[in-house]
Amino acid sequence: MKSLSIKVRQLEESATLAFTQLARKMRESGVDVANLTAGEPDFPTPPQVKMAAVRAIEENFTHYTANQGIPELITSIIEKFERDNGLRFERSQILVSCGAKHTIYNALQAICNPGDEVVIPAPYWVTYPEIVKLVDAKPVIVQTTAAEHFKISAAQLRKAINAKTKAFIFNSPGNPTGSVYSQGEIEELADVVKDSGVFVIADEIYEKVVYDGVRHFSMGSIKQIKDQVITVNGVSKAFAMTGWRIGYLGSSTPVAEAAAKVQSQVTSNATSIAQRAAAAALSAPSDDVQKMVEEFCRRRDFALKEISKIPDVELQDPKGAFYLFPSFKSFIGKRMNGALIKDDMDIAQYFLKEHHVALVPGCGFGAKNHVRISYACSMKELEKGLGGIAEGCRKLRDAY
């Protein structure tokens, strides 16, 4: 038999999905695992959104739609961008896809040539480098530090950009760190973007999930670079709609049309029923979103308090998204039952196997010694998981 594609053989599987699946399997086999892996709100999708989908089915709205998306959803997206982000788009500048992950893929396919470089600050969402490789471009990783709240500076960005650089992937609020860039920090980065002419993929999927009075700011609202910014968003996080698979972008017309051309040959339109539901979500009053964010804030505060009681675990105070990204550096090199804990993968395996807490190791996010804790799960699961982490750390501290 002939071999598989070299590109696919070199591709990493999504670490978030892999660990989520591992936890799911353990649970199916009867182990009571606290699953703190997935970035998936545990709330139900709001009722008026579900009703819109039911109506769509009853009305037989179950066929192909326009590749770009249904007119009412495009209208809702244009209104949302203007209302929430100060972004003005024409209809030709919007594309609806099967989740923000798919949106990012289409956008990168639309702009990258083989060998182009794409700058990605680390820690990054697991998918960015791999999706860049899928379009035959080269991820260029810029390491950020906890001391700088895991934010890339304008000087670091300038240094990373050269003649081969095509794009910069920017994610605020960020997965996995929860860091949120201020308007001033974004304006400094925008100066570099303007001078270099690169595209920006501004992934704003967590824009609604911000705490402590911090405000999200959209890079695309800076007039001087408007045409360079591809603003990506979706309904997965803000409306607890991960399974519906609707993401979208707003960009210059040539980019949106090129991305639509890619989509037209790969998936065609996003699901007709889910598009109707997404239109209802985006045009609904934001009560449900607000309630969800208040609950996330309560869980974040609880998780921060519990983790801060554990000696030797270093943790930032995240201002957005629903993740904690602590460092377990001081536990690396310990032995547990004779086995050496040599890295964050071993830490994650240890918590999973010995204490039945599922987390995602930092290596998938380009950050050694860390693990990601998602608090998008229920409070009960979070309490159980954090209890397991505290107990696991206590045992590790006593180990040699």
Quick note: the x/- pattern for ligand GLU over 301-340, rule CB under 6 A, is ----------------------------------------
In angstroms, give the least distance from the CB of 322 to ligand GLU: 9
For ligand GLU, which is the closer residue by CB, 177 or 228? 177
Residue from 35, 144, 231, 236 binding ligand PMP (CB under 6 A): 236
Residues 155-194 interacting with ligand GLU (rule: CB under 6 A): 175
Residue 332 and residue 340: Cα distance in Å, rounded? 8
Estimate the crossing angle of helix 272-283 against helix 47-58, to 10 degrees.
140
Secondary structure (DSSP) of 336-378: ETTEE--SHHHHHHHHHHHH-EE-EEGGGGT-TTBEEEE--S-
- Asked if 69 touches ligand PMP (CB under 6 A), the answer is no
Number of residues that bind ligand PMP (CB under 6 A): 13
Binding string to ligand GLU for residues 120 to 149, with x set by CB under 6 A, is what? ------xx----------------------
Distance of alpha carbon 378 from alpha carbon 373, whole angstroms: 13
The single residue listed with the structure tokens 């501004």 is 202
List, as one string, the DSSP characters of 299-333: HHHHHHHHHHTSTT-B-----BTTEE--B-GGGTT
Nearer to ligand PMP, 42 or 203 (CB): 203
Is residue 320 involved in binding ligand PMP (CB under 6 A)? no
* Cβ-proximal residues to 353 (8 Å cutoff; 6+ apart), any chain: none
| List of residues 6+ apart from 247 with CB closer than 8 A | 96, 97, 98, 99, 100, 101, 102, 103, 104, 205, 232, 233, 234, 235, 236
Identify residues 2-41 at the interface with ligand PMP (CB under 6 A): 39
Residue closer to ligand PMP by CB (options 74, 310) is 74
Contact 312, 330 (CB under 8 A): yes
Half-sphere exposure at residue 301, Cβ-oriented, CA atoms within 13 angstroms: 8
Nearest residue to 247 via CA among 205, 200, 201, 293: 205
Size of the site for ligand GLU (CB under 6 A): 9
* DSSP state for residue 210 in the 8-state scheme: B
Q: Give Cβ neighbours of residue 331 (< 8 Å, ≥ 6 apart).
A: 312, 341, 347, 393, 396, 397
**Residue 126 contact, options ligand GLU, ligand PMP, none, Cβ 5-8 Å cut-off depending on partner type:** ligand GLU
Query: Could you give the C-alpha distances from 194 to 131, 167, 252, in angstroms and in order?
Result: 25, 12, 15
Site for ligand GLU in 3-62 (CB under 6 A): 14, 16-17, 38-39
Which residue of the chain is nearest ligand PMP when measured via CB?
A: 99
Instruction: Single out the residue of 74, 100, 112, 230 in contact with ligand PMP (rule: CB under 6 A).
Output: 100
**Given candidates 68, 171, 252, 263, which one binds ligand PMP under the rule CB under 6 A?**
171
Residues 70-129 that bind ligand GLU (CB under 6 A): 101, 126-127
* Partner from ligand PMP, ligand GLU, none binding residue 247, C-beta < 5-8 Å depending on class: ligand PMP
Decide: is 120 part of the binding site for ligand PMP (CB under 6 A).
no
Considering only residues 247-276, where is the footprint of ligand PMP by CB under 6 A?
247
Query: Using CB under 6 A as the criterion, which residues of the chain lie in contact with ligand PMP when the complex forms?
Result: 39, 99-101, 125, 171, 175, 203, 205, 234, 236, 242, 247
Binding site for ligand GLU (CB under 6 A): 14, 16-17, 38-39, 101, 126-127, 175
